[in-house]
Each structure stands twice: as C-alpha cells, then as structure tokens.
Amino acid sequence: MSKQMADQREEGVDGVKVFAGSQIKGLDKEEEPLAAPSHGQGWRPGGRTAKSTRPEAGTRASTMVGDPPVPAVLWAQEVGHVLAGRARKLLLQFGMLFCTTLLLLWVSIFLYGSFYYSYMPTVSHLSPVHFSYRTDCDSSSLLCSFPVANVSLAKTGRDRVLMYGQPYRVTLELELPESPVNQDLGMFLVTVSCYTRGGRIISTASRSVMLHYRSHLLQVLDTILFSGFLLFGFAEQKQLLEVEMYPEYRENSYVPTTGAIIEVHSKRVQMYGAYLRIHAHFTGLR
C-alpha cells in the first residue's frame, strides 16, 4: 500500500515539472519579437503596417514636454523689449528733469546772490573810535581839550556803509571804568557831527551821558562775589554805555555822508574805548 502511494507521488511531481516546462516555453514564444518588415514599417493587427517611431534624417525633433510653446516665448521677448524701452525712456526723462532742476537752482541762487549783493545794504557796521586831544597845556589832572575822533564812512562798492533811502540807527558805545573820577564826573555831553565832501557839516546830534549809579555797599558785595574772576582777569569793574545818537538816519543821495566827528564834552572823563555802531532798519521789500 505504501509503495503504491509513493509511486503516485512521483507521478504527480513529474506532471508538475512537465506542466511548468510547457508554461516556460509558452512564455518564451510570446516574448520573441516580431520581425520588422522592410522599409521601416511594422505589422499591426488586421494586416496594416505602422510607421517607424525613429525620426528620419533632416526632420526636426519633437518638442520636449518641459519646453514652453513658441508663441509664449515670442510674447515674453516682445514684453521684455517694450519694458526695456519704457525704462530707458523714463531714465532719460528723469535725467533731463534732474539737469533742468539743477540748472534752475543754480540760476536762482546766482540771481538771488546778485540781487542781494547789489540791492541789500550792510546790516550792521561797527567802527572803533580813537579819541585824540591836545597835550600842550600844564594841567596834570585835566585834559587840555575835549576828546575828539574822526570816523570815516566813505567806502566804495559793496563795503559802503550807508545806502540811499535806507534808515539807520546810529549809536555810540562808551566803555567807562567805575573809577572815582567817573563816578564824581556826573553828566557830560557827547556830540556826533556828520559831514560830506569837503568837510561840510550836514547833521549834528548831541546826547547826555553818565554812569549808572551803584551804592558803596553794592560795589563791596559785587567785589566780594566776583573776587575770583576779578583776580584772574575774567571780569572788570566797568560799564558799557550805549548812547543812541540817531534813531533813524537817512542818507541823502545828493549829499552823501563821508564821515562823522565825535566829541566828548568833558576834560576829566576816563575811557577804555568807544565804538560807533550803525545798524540798518529794513522795511518793505528789504
């Protein structure tokens, strides 16, 4: 019984091998390529022939999948040319606008400078006053004459002091020490006489001047408080008196002012220095 079963198993295995071999042969037959007919044509079902997929010589290769279509490329190039032309045009317009603005700015600055140079007078003029007096007398405590100074106002071109029709404020600044002589001097007179060509006097103004009163106690306290500055020379015990001689002095175009004579009517006055200040008052367009 066991022998029969063993024989049946062997027969089954042989059958499987034969079946497997036949299947493999069938697959080999199916995988064999069909013979391509001549002239580059292949066989199709139904007896029809198909053209070969290989491109012929001289023909253009088909477009790749990733390449953009030709009309889109042409449109992009045309848009690029248009944008480049507009950019060049805008750049040229901006350059012309910048050059025009720069030219107008330069012309306006030049015209304003020329107008200011020729039309606007000097705003302020400060001239030092150097007094002189006679020394041919025997007096030791008093001067032989009143201190007198001559200030020239005749200049040409842009540096001229006075302009025709322009009102000026003329002041005399006196720098006086707080000495006992000046404190005991009291009031004294100051005279300014303007003259034209030939020394002819055309205007005269006189003002009274005196030191500001300071009590003895105030002077002592001031000396103690500022003793450090006084010792090292950073401060001085003096007063600067500003005397307004002409509130509105106008130059006459027919009789120009060429100078001024300043006289202090006191033989005992003591001064550190004096200055003649001329300040223009602008009205209207000026």
Q: Which pLDDT belongs to residue 230?
A: 87
Q: Is 226 helix (H, G, I), strand (E, B) or coil?
A: coil
Model confidence over 258-270: pLDDT tens digits? 899 999 999 889 9
Tell me what percent of the residues of the chain surpass a pLDDT of 90. 34
Q: Is 91 helix (H, G, I), strand (E, B) or coil?
A: helix
Model confidence over 3-49: pLDDT tens digits? 455 455 555 545 545 444 555 445 444 444 444 444 444 444 454 44
CATH number (2.60.120, 1.10.1060, 3.40.50, 1.10.287) of 124-280 reads 2.60.120
Q: Which amino acid is at 54?
A: R
Distance CA 241, CA 209 (A): 8
pLDDT band of residue 115 (cuts 50, 70, 90) is confident
The position carrying tokens 């025997």 is: 138
The position carrying tokens 């015209």 is: 111
Distance CA 188, CA 270 (A): 12
